[in-house]
Structure formats: structure tokens, C-alpha cells
Structure 1
């Protein structure tokens, strides 16, 4: 099986028997508590001799089922479903690190991951630093003797740079450091990081995996069972619990994931090609476009799968950006991604607003810079919406 190719899986998992038949759709099991027959039976359950549930904070059927579904997509047998993508990040960073450790992160992580790196971990005695993940040598040089783990995203937000995962993985292995990959942007349809040397992989299931902007969930898995168990204990202790209803909705979303990914990716490629030829558009960023700075790496690492995310920049600064967003009717202006509908994000006023203008400029984020999460609309109708926005921006 080639990198990025997902194993086939049942679209509908087997549900429990009810009499002589079973439900086609997984039942929602909202119970907070589960009863056992006697103390001996409870002991057997806690000691792992029999399977069962006790209290929903420690796990419940819908969370377990979703965890196994996502794990299969990443080439694992099991994982942990958590209450959000940031709950997954927290389970990794705080479940596995202690005071005196060092965490090295990519310099373009998701905004809240960066905040945790810069503000929360240091106050707990965990040192942090950032490096450019597109330069494996520089990244390796930033690893210290006390480095516990490295945290990267395969494709960065919002400039869509492609990390040298293979090079970073080799450095981590050489120095005995855990490699953690946030695979939210790329998803297992584009790459399975564990096959490229990662030790831990995590997701914001909220995004493209669930795909309908109606759940808030996260997931984390690990090659080493001891690491997974340590993160599970931390998650149970701190209450990073996933809702049964959200898990049920996310399972429904996974049933159409392959179709949604393929359609959105195809439309993103068409939209990027169209935008690149429009007056007033200064650049278009899409990982597999020939003019992308990491195009060669994207073609090899992602097997040509650029995904559903693209970014572009227009002339005219903030006034033009306001005009574009107002005129592109039918496209939600919202700092999210992975929905069935296309969404438009403006990093300078949302995800990266805390940075100085100079800091944003260093990352290549101007007032005319937009990030697009491409959905399932008719491609020509979507292009017409963008053309309306561009026409309005040119008039500013």
C-alpha cells in the first residue's frame, strides 16, 4: 500500500444485536454511568480481564467506536477520542511532558497550539522553542539534550508550507525524541504520518473528518501503547471528555469522508488555477501547484494530494479585503475549515491577529491575505462568487 492510501473500511460498523436483528445506524448511548453485577465483576473490568464501561468521563461506547474508526484510517488499532482538537494537543503536551523538558514546535502551528507553546508550557516549567519545519537541518539543530518531543503540522496554517517530515523524523529518531504530527489539515487521505516516522498523530475531528461544522472533537493515537495509556490517564483525570452525541455525528461524517475529500480537493485545484490568472491577485498558495515553494516535496510526500485548503493574496490591503468578503456572497466568512460549504478566513484579523504587523509580514501574511477551506459547491458557482469578490476589491 502506497503512502497516503487508506485501508478500506466498513462504512457502517457492526452495531449490537437487538433480538434477531441489529440497527443499521449506531445507537447514541448517552448514559453517564454503567452498572456492574458485583465488586468482582468491576475488578475484572478495571483490571482488563473483561471489557466494559463504568463512567462516561473514563470512556463510553460512542467515543470508543469513533476512536477505532479514526485509528484504522491512520493505520492503528486504537486511539483516544477527546472533547476538541486542542484537548488532543493538551493530552499530548501535558500528558507526556514534565517540568524540565523542552518541546520544539514548528513556527507556523495552529494559533492555540502556539499560544500553549509560548505561554502555558513555560509557566509549568516546560521550555519551548520554534523552528522552520521546511528546513530539516535547522530543525534538527534546534533539538536540545532535554527535548522531549517535536510538534509539527504537515502543511502549515495559513501559508500552506510543507514540512520535511522525513528529514525531521530521521533527526528525532537519531536523538531519541518523540515526533508528534497534527494531521488535521492533510488528513489520512493525503498522508499517514506514522508511516513516515511519527510516534504520535492527532486530529481536530471537528474539521474535515467530521466535516459538517456541528461537532467539537479531537483524537490522538500512538505507536507505543504505553504513550497512549499515559495520555488516556491524563485525559480521564482532567476531564477532556467527548460527548456521545458529537461522537455519533462524527461517525456519520466519516461515512462520506472519502467522497468529500476528493470533491473538495478537485475544486480547490480548479479554484487555485482560476485565481492565479485574475487581475489583482498577487499570489496563490496550493501545495501541489508548480509555483508553490514546496511543490516538489508536496508531490512526493503527499503523493500529489494537495487537499482542500488554499490561500491567496489580493492587492489593496484591508479595504480591498473588506470589499472582497462582503461581495463574495454565499461564502461564509468564518475562521474554520473542513465544512461541506466553503469558508473564507482572514488570518490578519483572526488566527494571527495577536502578532504585530511585522510578525505577520515575516510569515507572509498581509492584510490582503485570505485562507480558503473549499467545500462541496458546484465549482463554477464557487468561482463566480470569488469573481464577484475580486471585482469589488478592484474597485477599492
Structure 2
């Protein structure tokens, strides 16, 4: 028997939001892909920048804007853009600002996918690339060409934690009229604000320390020059590097405890670095504020007491030792990421830098026994016990 009762008029998109004299304390999640305007004139006014409004989520949405404003405040930036991943931010900065015939000079210890972008993808679009040692400003000066448009460096490199000579590189870029883009994911604005040291573009993988819980994938890019800002935005919108509203909402929530998480994890990292350095079977420990770090003086000058939560170390035994270490530390995630509230162990030769040849990894100081640690907020006594057991297992495997 058919039901001929009419469908309620307000069932499909016709119920207005409830009115209220109060307001939410927590930012609402706004997953709408589209935003309605009153008339074509109003839509024109939005696109032409005469009034503020949202149109289509690929072009921006409220949750992304709220998150961007918070990171802008941390960085001393304006008009930062949230994108779908850290690599989306790197790509938008490069492709939005460069064209065929340009040259970009990168640090030779960039994140593995940034190296892939530099070495394989940009040349396919007619953009020349080369690499230089970011700890040596003179090497960058020699490598800059007449057609060099941009320099891309990480302040603290992934995974060997070398510290770039940002003041020296920034001075060279300014003198030569070259843009300086700094990926500040490892250092974060808690330790270093690149715009205050001559950077033109700042990049973050928000996925990591800023969000901090391994449950979002996001990136951030900001430029000083409004024209560059627009070029990066236009490329990102055209290619659809759109962030999820839900991820932005989660990242905003994570950002509220960023300072607390960072400080506790940094404290743990300093203590764990010293602990590892005293264990038999550990060949070396890399932590920027240790006196035996190759860039200790520069790190102290640029970062002060902020050594960060990242450290690296090398054990005996090659791949067999590496396998033994991770198997002996079952309670610690062994995964190719960083920045979680918990400690995460990574093996660069089998993850971030696996695309490089053995010789290329060796040139960077990445052996089969080399590990990177993203230190979390756990009890330091627990971490010391875990790593003592892991290193002992690696040493035993080495014979």
C-alpha cells in the first residue's frame, strides 16, 4: 500500500541552524564542501576579496583557517595555508613559486621524499635542482647559479640532526636575490622562528609535533610576500591539496597542548641522549645540544637551550643488530614517523631514505645500525630501561 503522506518541507536542507545567545567553547567541525551565498553579486564580492566568505572547500574552509591562524601566531606569520600533508606544503611552495628554467638548491640532508621531489619530479617539469651541505654556507654560495630562484633547507636535518647555517645561507640568499624556504618541522616555532632569521617561506608537517597524536595528516606553508602567498595558494587550490576539516579540527585540539608536550619530550630527549651515550654497543649519539654534536656551537647559538625531541644513534651489528634491537623493544612503536605523544623508533635505511643507494646513505652517515628516535612524554626511567634492553640485544647479535 503506497504512502502518499507529504515529505516534511524541512527534511532536505531547509532547517536553519538553531539560534542561540551563547556560543560553543570548542571550534565546531564544519565538513560542508559548499557554502551558499545570497546572490551572484555577493559571490563576486567574495571571489574579489571585497567581503569575507567561503565558497568551496577546496578553496578554503573554516577549520583550516582557524588552524592556520593559530600556527601563524606561533610563527609570527600572516596568511599561512593548511594543506593535506607536509609534502603537499613542500610541493606547493616549490611548484607555486618556480617555473621551467628555474633552479632550486636544496640541502643534501632533506627528508627522503623532499629529496625524491628534488631529484626526480621537479626536473620532469623543467626545474633544475642540485644539493649542497647546509652546514656550510660557503658551499651554498658556490652552488647558487644565475637561474637559482629558491633555496630549500631544513634547520635540523632528518635524520642526522645536522644544524643548517641559516644566518649564513640567509645572507647569501638576500645578496643574490634568492628565496629562502625553511622546513622547520623538527625544530618547530617553540625552538626557532625562521622568519626572524631571514626566511621567505616557512614549511611544517603539521602531522608531526604540532598535532602530536599520529591521527592527522596535514601541512602548513606561509610566505612573507603576499604575491608569493597567492602563488602558493593558487597552485594548492588548482591541484587540490585540500586538508580535511576533521583533521584540521583534531590538529587544533592537539595544538592546545603543544607547548606542554614539546617541553616534556625535549626534557626526555636530553636525558635519553646522555643515557644512550653511556651504553656499551652504542657507536654514536646525535643530539644538537650535546657537546660532541658536530654542530653543537651553531645549535646553541640558534636554538639556545631548545634541543628538541629528536635524537639519533647508531648501534653495532648492522642489519642483524637493528633487527635484534627493534624485536627487543616490543612496547615501543617501530614506525616511519615522528612527533607522537609516545616515543617512536625509526630506521632510516629501511624507511625515509630507503630510495637512496647504500653509498648515498653512507655519505650522509646513515648505516644499517642507525636509528632515529622521536622521543615522547613517557616516564624517562621506562625509556632508559627499554633502550638499554634494545642496545644489549643489538650488541649480542653483533657477536
TM-score between the two structures when normalised by the length of structure 2: 0.94
The answer to whether the 8 A contact 2:68-2:220 is kept is: yes
State the match for 1:80 in structure 2. 81
| Number of residue pairs the alignment of both structures matches | 381
CA distance in structure 1 between the aligned counterparts of 2:191 and 2:292, rounded to whole angstroms: 20
* 1:177 Cα offset (Å): 0.2
* 1:142 Cα offset (Å): 0.6
CA distance in structure 2 between the aligned counterparts of 1:76 and 1:18, rounded to whole angstroms: 35
State the match for 1:371 in structure 2. 372
CA shift in 2, pair 1:301/1:17, >3 Å:
farther
CA distance in structure 1 between the aligned counterparts of 2:140 and 2:305, rounded to whole angstroms: 25
State the match for 2:149 in structure 1. 148
Structure 1 ranges of 4+ moved more than 2 A: none
1:202 maps onto 2:208 in alignment: no
State the match for 1:158 in structure 2. 159
323-332 vs 128-137, which deviates more?
323-332
The answer to whether the 8 A contact 1:318-1:367 is kept is: yes
2:311 partner SS: strand
State the match for 1:10 in structure 2. none
* 1:356 Cα offset (Å): 2.0
* 1:26 Cα offset (Å): 0.4
State the match for 2:266 in structure 1. 265
CA distance in structure 2 between the aligned counterparts of 1:75 and 1:100, rounded to whole angstroms: 33
State the match for 1:230 in structure 2. 231
The answer to whether the 8 A contact 1:72-1:78 is kept is: no
State the match for 1:349 in structure 2. 350
Counterparts in 2 of 1:164-179, with a 5 A limit?
A: 164-179=165-180
- 1:237-289 per-residue CA deviation (whole Å, 9 max, x = no partner) reads 11000000000000000000000000000000000000000000010000010
CA distance in structure 2 between the aligned counterparts of 1:97 and 1:219, rounded to whole angstroms: 18
CA distance in structure 1 between the aligned counterparts of 2:388 and 2:353, rounded to whole angstroms: 26
Give RMSD over aligned pairs: 1.1
State the match for 1:19 in structure 2. 20
- 1:101-134 per-residue CA deviation (whole Å, 9 max, x = no partner) reads 0000000101111001000111110000000000
Counterparts in 2 of 1:90-239, with a 5 A limit?
A: 90-239=91-240
* 1:17 Cα offset (Å): 11
1:319 partner SS: helix
The answer to whether the 8 A contact 1:17-1:23 is kept is: no
- 1:28-57 per-residue CA deviation (whole Å, 9 max, x = no partner) reads 000000000011111111111110001000
- 1:61-117 per-residue CA deviation (whole Å, 9 max, x = no partner) reads 001111111111110132101000011011111111000000000001011110010
1:383 partner SS: helix
2:241 partner SS: coil
CA distance in structure 1 between the aligned counterparts of 2:272 and 2:282, rounded to whole angstroms: 13
2:262 partner SS: helix
* 1:350 Cα offset (Å): 1.2
- 1:189-240 per-residue CA deviation (whole Å, 9 max, x = no partner) reads 0100010000000111000000000000001001111110111111111100
2:191 partner SS: coil
The answer to whether the 8 A contact 2:78-2:224 is kept is: no
CA distance in structure 1 between the aligned counterparts of 2:48 and 2:370, rounded to whole angstroms: 54
CA distance in structure 2 between the aligned counterparts of 1:36 and 1:356, rounded to whole angstroms: 55
The answer to whether the 8 A contact 2:78-2:222 is kept is: no
State the match for 2:360 in structure 1. 359
State the match for 2:293 in structure 1. 292
TM-score between the two structures when normalised by the length of structure 1: 0.95
- 1:148-187 per-residue CA deviation (whole Å, 9 max, x = no partner) reads 1000000011110000000000000000000000010110
Structure 2 residue ranges without an equivalent (≥5): 1-16
* 1:18 Cα offset (Å): 5.7
Larger Rg: 2
* 1:304 Cα offset (Å): 2.2
CA distance in structure 1 between the aligned counterparts of 2:19 and 2:197, rounded to whole angstroms: 43
Structure 1 residue ranges without an equivalent (≥5): 1-15
